[in-house]
Chains A and B, each alone.
Chain A
Amino acid sequence: MFLSYIPQLLISGITIGGAYALVALGFVTIARTSQIINFTQGEFVMLGGVITFFFLQEGLPYPVAIFLAIGLVILIGFLIQLLVIYPLRKTSILILIIATLGASLFLSHTSAVVFGSLPKALPPFSGGKPFEMSGILIPQQNLWVLGVTPLLLMLLYLLSHQTLLGKAMEASSTDPLGAELSGISRNLMSFLAFGVSAGMGAIAGIFITPIYYTSFNSGTLLGLKGFVAAILGGWGKNSGAVLGGFALGIIESLSVAFIPSGYKDGVAFITLLLILYLRPKGILGSPFIDSRRW
C-alpha cells in the first residue's frame, strides 16, 4: 500500500535535496579555498529567507527584496570572515570550529531579536496550480529550486575553471605556500570565498522559504545536513556536493515510508556516521582525502 506514496516522497526528497545541495556547495566553496569548515553556512540560509521576508513586509517589490537580501547576506559573510576567521587564522582546528559555532549562535539569536522569532514563509515565486503527473503533484516552487541548483553549479564551475580568480582560490587551498609565493593573498581569497558562499546560502534560503517555513533556529540543522551532504558526495568537490545533496534528500524522505517520521532528522546523521566509517572520501572521492583514512 505504501508503495503508492513513494513517487510523491521522491519528489519532495529531490526538492529538499536541492536545498541541501545549495548549502553543501557553500561549505565546499569555503573549504576549497581555505580548508575551513564554516558552521555559519546554515545561518546564511536562514538569513536569506528572513531578510527577504522583512523587506517584503516593508513594501518592496519581490525581486528588489531578493537582491537586497542577497547583498546584505554577502556583506554579513564578509564581516564574519573579517571579524571571526581572520583574527583566528593561525589557531587550531578546534578553536575555529568553536568560533564559527559561536558566530552561528550569534547570528541566529540576533535574527530572533531583530526580525522576531515566529516562523516565516515567503509567497511562491510563481502562483498557479501544481503540475500533476499521473497522480503525483509537483508544486511549481519545487521546479524553481531544481532549476537554480544546476545554474549555480554551472556558475561555480565557470568561476573555478574559467577565471583567474577561481584558479587563485583553488591554488590557495591545494598549496598554500606555493600560492603565497606566486603572489596570491590567502586572506583575500578566503574573504572572497566567504562572500560567494554567503551569497549561495542566501539564494538557497530564498528559494526554499516558500516551501519550508524559516525561523531563527532552523539554520543550524539545515547547515549540519548540508555538511553531511558535502561529506556524502565527496568532501571538496562541487559535483560531489550536489550529488550528495540530492542523495541525502532522497534517502531522508524515503526513510519516512519505513520509520516513524519524527526520526527523519536522525537519518542524516546515521548516514554521516556510516559514510565516515565505510568510505570517508565520499561517493565521488575527495581531493583532500587520500586513500588513507582520516
Chain B
Amino acid sequence: MVEQSQRDFRKRDFLYVVPLWLLHLVLPNPVPHRKKDFQKRDLLYLLLILILPLIWSDGHIHHLMVLAGINAILALGLSLFLGYAGQISLGHAAFFGIGAYTTAILTTRYEIPPFFAFWASAFVSGLFAYLIGRPLLKLKGYFLALATLGFGEMFLVFVKESYELTGGVIGIFNIPWFSIGGFVFDNYLKQYYLIWGVLIGLFLFSKNLVRSKMGRALLAISSSEEGAASIGVDVTKMKIGSFVIGAGFAGFAGNLYACVMSTANYETFSLNLSTLIVLMVILGGMGNLYGPIGGAIFITWLMDVLGSYMEYSLPLFGVILILLLIFFPEGFGTRLGMRFVYLISYFPRKRRRDEGKIQ
C-alpha cells in the first residue's frame, strides 16, 4: 500500500515539473555515457565561461571565480578517484599542499619560471601519491579514509616543523605571478582565464579518460572489486592510476593557488579543505564530471557568503553541511534528475498501468 501511494502524482509535483524542465534544458545530462561526446549545451557552458567575467566585471566576483576554478580542479581530480573508482580519500588537501609548496620552493629559492614549476608540482604530487598509494590502497572503506586522513595530518605536521624547507608556520611569501613567455597574469581577470583554461583542458582529459578502457575499469571497481578482478581488471593498478591522476590535478591546482595568492601557508591545506573537496564531489554527484565543478562553484560561493558572519561562519557551515547531506545525499543533480525522469514518465507509465501491461 505504501508503495502505491508513493507512486501517485502529488499536486505539488506540478510545482517541480516546470522549473525542472527548464533546468534540464541547460544543465548537463547526469547519465555518464552518452553516445555523443559533446552536445550543444557544452558550447553554451564554454561561451558562458568566456564572456561571464566580462559582463559581470566585479573584482570580488572575479576573485571568487578564481578560487572556484581552483576548487573545481581539485574536485575534478578527486571525482576520478572517489566518484568513479568509489574509493574514499580524506587527504586530497595534502597533494594540493605539496603542489603549492613545490611551486613556492622552486620559484622563490631556485628562480625557476612558474610555467616549469606548474609541471614540476603535478609531477611531485603524483610521485607522492604513487609512493603513498602503493601500500595504502590495499585498504577499503573506513580504513582507507582514515589512512589518507592520517597522511594529510602528517603532511601538516611536517610542513609546520621543517622550518628550513617550508618556512614553518609563517609559510613562503612573494611567489611570482604565473607567466608564460613574458606574458604575466597579474590581475584577477587574466588569472580567471588562466585557471578556467587549465580546468577546461583537464576536463577534456578526464572526459576522455572516463570513456576509455580505464574509465570503464574504474566504474567496474566501484561496483565490485572482486567482480572487476574476475573479468581481468588490474584492480591495484587502476586504483593507483586514478589516485595518481587525481593527485596530479591537485598539484596543478596547488601551483595555480600559490601563483595567484603569492603565498603558501600550511593552514590552507588542513582537514577542513579535504572535507570541503569531498563535499563538492558528493553534492555534484558521484560518477559525473560536470557535477564536481558545479559543486565547487556552489561551495566556494557558500563559504564566501558565510565568511561575512565572522565567528559564526564555521558553526553555520557545520549545520548547512549536515542539512545538505541529509537532503541531497546523492548530490543535487542526481536527485533532481531522478525526480524529473520520474515526473515526465508519469503519464505514459500510468496509461500502461491502466492497460494492465505493468504493475
Residues of A participating in the B interface, judged by any CB pair closer than 8 Å: 37, 83-84, 87-88, 91-95, 97-99, 101-107, 109-110, 112-113, 220-221, 224, 227-228, 231, 260, 262-263, 265-266, 269-270, 272-273, 276-277, 280, 293-294
Contact yes or no, A93 B141, CB < 8 A: yes
Docked Cα-Cα span, A92 to B140, in Å, equals 13
Contact of B157 (CB < 8 Å), options: A91, A98, A227, A263 = A263
Contact yes or no, A266 B157, CB < 8 A: yes
Known A94-B278, A293-B138; judge A102-B90 contact (CB<8 A): no
Name the distance in Å between A42's Cβ and chain B's nearest Cβ.
Answer: 12
Q: Closest chain A residue to B311 by CB distance?
A: A113
Please tell me if B158 contacts chain A, counting CB pairs below 8 Å: yes
Docked Cα-Cα span, A101 to B90, in Å, equals 11
Docked Cα-Cα span, A207 to B88, in Å, equals 35
Q: How many residues of chain B get a CB closer than 8 Å to chain A's CBs?
A: 41
Q: Closest chain B residue to A37 by CB distance?
A: B142
Please tell me if B322 contacts chain A, counting CB pairs below 8 Å: yes
State the majority secondary structure of interface residues on B.
Answer: helix
Contact yes or no, B146 A93, CB < 8 A: no
Name the distance in Å between A272's Cβ and chain B's nearest Cβ.
Answer: 4
Contact yes or no, A266 B154, CB < 8 A: yes
Contact yes or no, B147 A98, CB < 8 A: no
Residues of chain B within 8 A (CB-CB) of A231 are 143, 146
Contact yes or no, A110 B315, CB < 8 A: yes
Q: Closest chain B residue to A36 by CB distance?
A: B142
Residues of chain A within 8 A (CB-CB) of B315 are 105-106, 109-110, 113
Residues of B participating in the A interface, judged by any CB pair closer than 8 Å: 82, 88, 90, 135-136, 138-143, 145-147, 149-151, 153-154, 157-158, 160-161, 271-272, 275, 278-279, 282, 311-312, 314-315, 317-319, 321-322, 325-326, 329
Contact of B139 (CB < 8 Å), options: A105, A227, A294 = A294
Contact yes or no, A112 B311, CB < 8 A: yes
Name the distance in Å between A113's Cβ and chain B's nearest Cβ.
Answer: 5
Contact yes or no, B272 A105, CB < 8 A: yes
Name the distance in Å between B160's Cβ and chain A's nearest Cβ.
Answer: 7
Known A94-B278, A262-B161, A277-B136; judge A102-B150 contact (CB<8 A): no
Name the distance in Å between A171's Cβ and chain B's nearest Cβ.
Answer: 21
Residues of chain A within 8 A (CB-CB) of B142 are 37, 93, 97
Contact yes or no, B278 A276, CB < 8 A: no
8 tightest A-B contacts by CB? A106-B318, A102-B321, A266-B157, A109-B314, A262-B161, A269-B150, A105-B318, A269-B154
Q: Closest chain A residue to B148 by CB distance?
A: A273
Contact yes or no, B143 A228, CB < 8 A: no
Name the distance in Å between B8's Cβ and chain A's nearest Cβ.
Answer: 23
Contact yes or no, B279 A272, CB < 8 A: no
Contact yes or no, B319 A220, CB < 8 A: no
Contact yes or no, A98 B275, CB < 8 A: yes
Known A265-B157, A266-B154, A273-B151; judge A102-B140 contact (CB<8 A): no
Docked Cα-Cα span, A227 to B146, in Å, equals 9
10 more A-B residue pairs beyond the given contacts A106-B317, A109-B314, with a C-beta to C-beta distance below 8 A:
A94-B282, A98-B321, A106-B318, A106-B319, A109-B315, A224-B149, A227-B146, A231-B146, A276-B136, A276-B143
24 of the cross-chain contacts (CB-CB < 8 Å) are: A37-B146, A87-B326, A88-B329, A93-B142, A94-B145, A98-B279, A98-B282, A99-B321, A99-B326, A102-B275, A102-B318, A103-B322, A106-B319, A106-B322, A109-B318, A110-B315, A262-B157, A262-B160, A265-B153, A266-B158, A269-B157, A272-B147, A276-B143, A294-B140
Docked Cα-Cα span, A55 to B312, in Å, equals 23
Contact yes or no, A273 B136, CB < 8 A: yes
Which of A99, A101, A220, A272 counts the most B-chain CB atoms under 10 A from its CB? A101
Name the distance in Å between B138's Cβ and chain A's nearest Cβ.
Answer: 6
Contact yes or no, B160 A224, CB < 8 A: no
Residues of chain B within 8 A (CB-CB) of A101 are 271, 275
Docked Cα-Cα span, A91 to B158, in Å, equals 35
Docked Cα-Cα span, A265 to B153, in Å, equals 9
Contact yes or no, B145 A224, CB < 8 A: no
Residues of chain A within 8 A (CB-CB) of B319 are 106
Docked Cα-Cα span, A102 to B311, in Å, equals 16
Docked Cα-Cα span, A294 to B90, in Å, equals 17
Docked Cα-Cα span, A104 to B147, in Å, equals 19
Which of B153, B158, B319 counts the most A-chain CB atoms under 10 A from its CB? B153
Docked Cα-Cα span, A276 to B312, in Å, equals 38
Residues of chain A within 8 A (CB-CB) of B147 are 272-273, 276
Docked Cα-Cα span, A176 to B312, in Å, equals 40
Contact yes or no, A293 B146, CB < 8 A: no
Contact yes or no, A95 B145, CB < 8 A: no
Which of B136, B161, B272 counts the most A-chain CB atoms under 10 A from its CB? B161
Known A260-B161, A273-B135, A273-B136; judge A95-B314 contact (CB<8 A): no
Docked Cα-Cα span, A221 to B156, in Å, equals 12
Contact yes or no, B150 A273, CB < 8 A: yes
Residues of chain B within 8 A (CB-CB) of A280 are 139, 143
Name the distance in Å between A231's Cβ and chain B's nearest Cβ.
Answer: 7
Name the distance in Å between A235's Cβ and chain B's nearest Cβ.
Answer: 8
